[in-house]
Amino acid sequence: MAHDRDYVIFDHRGETGQRAGVRVSTKTGQTVEFACSGPVLSRLSTLRDLLLPCDQDSALNGGLCPDQAPSKPGK
C-alpha cells in the first residue's frame, strides 16, 4: 500500500447534473480523477456512522467534527 497518496470520494450534485468518483493526489501534487462510469448510488451519508477519523480541515464538514462543540465568539 502506498502511503504517499491521499484520496477523496466525491459526489457533486448541482444544476448541471451529478458527478461522482475518486480523486487521488500525491505528495508531489499530481492529481488523477476516476469518475464513476455507471449510475451513481450515493451512500456517502452512511460514512458518518462509521468509526472514521474526522478531518477538521475538510470543507465538507465546515471545519467542525461531530465530537467537537462549536467555538464561542471571542474564545
Per-residue pLDDT of the chain (75 residues; tens, 9 = 90+): 457 888 888 888 778 888 889 999 988 889 999 999 888 887 766 766 776 677 777 766 666 776 655 555 554
> CA 53 to CA 70: how far, in whole Å?
18
Nearest one of 3, 6, 11, 24 to 60, comparing CA atoms = 11
DSSP structural state of residue 27: T
> CA 17 to CA 63: how far, in whole Å?
26
> CA 49 to CA 69: how far, in whole Å?
18
Domain-embedded: residue 36:
yes
The structural domain count of the chain equals 1
Greatest Cα pair distance, the chain, in angstroms, is: 49
Domain-embedded: residue 2:
yes
Domain hosting 13: range is 1-41
Nearest one of 56, 57, 59 to 67, comparing CA atoms = 56
Domain-embedded: residue 11:
yes
